[in-house]
Structure 1
């Protein structure tokens, strides 16, 4: 039987089990650890916890199979899935399998503790209300691979959103700069939805002449206008039962906005020149690179339509906000270009990769893909050096280095120091270097935030509790100001 505050941890990585166990115990949570799913399932036969934290990829029974068995035997028990493979398919599969939360590695231990505490509260509420959560059925048909690549935290949030919406037909508004991959996200939302077997129809508002917009959306009757020699179904009819993706919705003309609002409200419309109402069942996903709120304020977009579309919003980060994804994206696009052009796959030198990661990429992922295709065609050798890059990229100034007045000397100095220490036969040099590095980073962040710990933690990419714990460990208790709650 559970004590009401017990969490089981299953992970084949001993260090992960130890870190989670220690952190949860310090927070007053009882734990029990397992190194494989089979042993946990056997234990479930005689007792059970209040929540479970499970890795997704383990030898033998993996986390998703374990999740299914837990849902079968203990429906409603919150399970947090952790994984070092932070891709879209893992996130979606976790949520579709009934996971309470999805936690990509490496994770902030304070975030893991807070997530576990939420899971325990959830379990307590279910028990108090005597509710049993229904087992979540996966949609029929296998979920294939996706071309959305991203390990950056901002992309993980996108994956989480797609996973949470995988059982819903709710309207979604996607916003992000041009070239960030908004249509790919829309396709993923459709692919991982109850409408996955139905049609996905896309229409770019910016690519359609104003006078043809209503005909494209709603179709037209024969003779409705000059050139209408036959009845034509519009995109709404084509998408009936499926998903209609309206890209660049901010470019939709005002009169078409009015007609769209009526369709969203009533679920029916008239073809151009028609007099018979046509009912459709269509999920709407809209996207824009514009600030729709500003368009509403300026009177160029209907406020009521904005609220109809803005039920759930997903923001796609720009490439400059997820630079850590550039190497994997480039490798993917090099592989893709190699297959399409039947040529050898290019490989970046370390110097070239570091340079490309520092660029702003105003055209985002689309620009990156085009760059990879250019390199595949124009570069003569397999290994890509700086001189092999497109000339326009070499004319850009990286965000780091001379552009910011920060040199790379500190990295070279650190390398020389490490070499010297190891040459002297010293060991555990990280135990010496890391505390000094962390103390310098914390002091600098506190300087920039005038001593405010909460803001300093944000700059460092930590939770506030992590910063406080680090400062205690480093003997910095007198530094910084306590934030007011």
Structure 2
């Protein structure tokens, strides 16, 4: 299967090196532009900021150095820079990475190694039609498979997981893949509505049922019709309403407040909670729990599925950029590393909130660790002494997670980009505790 191709610009003053790179990249299927002077590169990048997917740039140039080209061009273009450096320029290359460059490679280099760096720098974030709607990790693919099996059933579904793990997103996914997708999806947060109002909001009320009831009010159960009634934070539902919800499930009918006429309930109930409502000692009704948990689903916390962190981050940022006027156009490599090292106690909700704040406040084209974690001292700020072997393994693990996120969890494609066999990649994933399931290659 052919690898991903892109529009690549080369800035290299050595005619032999420049021609060699242009020729090989063209053979690989890329569209290539070659410059020999920094001034020319800056001018064209400013004039056509979206013309390239990657800039391969030498650090030492006759008219200006690569760092100066990067500084000037990056004000206008979000295209990633891959720097080529001699041994004496490594410190400068590392500094450029901290400023937002995507990568660097040291001269002289093997062509295969160079092509691997190009492939990694051209990370594609396109979602594949074969799957990966909720995540690329084994845990989230299992959730998708379970929800696919549950989609055709009318029984209640109970989604359990920590706050911010994506329970409502999963419920909406279930709605979209079911035969009820053309009917309403009504979401009710049981914790957000005052207890004294929840019954009226859920079941509705008749005109004059109580003081202030000036007209007929159709509740969420009625408005859900033949669709899905999603009860979020079900563990916070008052005890008296738990009894009425149980009767709703068992009888398939309900009453508006102030009425004795039963109304049919046709929707499917999907609930979510971060509480262990089925555990001993819980005040939640056991008989209702057994009814609601007919089809249970556990959503793992983000810290248990690191494969999803960058996958989610890039999708969140894409959505944010669509609705917000922001200078930000991507996430820098160091910021990705920092995200992979963070524990995410707030799960996916925390991830999105941090990216929204970063996109609003950052002045960089590519987000840096300090943009996303202004309140956290990262490992980049407080270096720890560790063995070279440990550092190498940590970097290798981060790179595998990064490429898996870019390839939507496709093992074969990730192995090609990493320049290793599928068997080798599987072995490394097993050693590092990475559990991404493989999609079908297409």
Q: Give the TM-score normalised by the residue count of structure 2.
A: 0.59
- Partner residue in 1 for 2:223: 238
**1:134-145 pair list within 5 angstroms:** none
1:272 aligns with 2:257: yes
Residues 204 and 248, structure 1, Cα contact 8 Å, conserved in 2 = yes
Cα RMSD after superposing both structures: 3.5
1:255 aligns with 2:237: no
1:227 aligns with 2:212: yes
Structure 2 counterpart SS, 1:198 = coil
- Partner residue in 1 for 2:320: 337
Structure 2 counterpart SS, 1:90 = coil
Residues 149 and 328, structure 1, Cα contact 8 Å, conserved in 2 = no
Distance 1:390 1:414, change over 3 A: closer
- Partner residue in 1 for 2:23: none
Shift of 1:156: 0.7
Residues 86 and 156, structure 1, Cα contact 8 Å, conserved in 2 = no
Shift of 1:389: 3.2
- Partner residue in 1 for 2:302: 319
Shift of 1:375: 1.2
Ranges in structure 1 where 5+ consecutive residues have no aligned partner: 1-11, 14-84, 92-103, 105-147, 416-428, 446-458, 463-485
Deviations 1:277-319 (A, max 9, x none): 111211000000111122xx22511111001000111111111
Shift of 1:175: 0.6
- Partner residue in 1 for 2:272: 287
CA distance in 2, matches of 1:86, 1:321: 24
CA distance in 1, matches of 2:135, 2:287: 34
- Partner residue in 1 for 2:348: 365
Runs of 4+ in structure 1 displaced over 6 angstroms? 85-88, 459-462
Structure 1 counterpart SS, 2:215 = coil
- Partner residue in 2 for 1:150: 135
**1:330-479 pair list within 5 angstroms:** 330-392=313-375, 394-395=376-377, 402=384, 407=387, 409-412=389-392
CA distance in 1, matches of 2:278, 2:293: 10
Which of 306, 310, 320 aligns to 2:289? It is 306
Q: Give the TM-score normalised by the residue count of structure 1.
A: 0.54
Shift of 1:193: 0.7
Distance 1:306 1:408, change over 3 A: farther
Residues 205 and 213, structure 2, Cα contact 8 Å, conserved in 1 = yes
Ranges in structure 2 where 5+ consecutive residues have no aligned partner: 3-124, 396-418, 437-442
Residues 276 and 282, structure 2, Cα contact 8 Å, conserved in 1 = no
**1:20-31 pair list within 5 angstroms:** none
Shift of 1:187: 0.7
Distance 1:390 1:413, change over 3 A: closer
Shift of 1:356: 1.1
Structure 1 counterpart SS, 2:179 = coil
Distance 1:412 1:207, change over 3 A: closer
Distance 1:259 1:411, change over 3 A: same
CA distance in 2, matches of 1:260, 1:267: 10
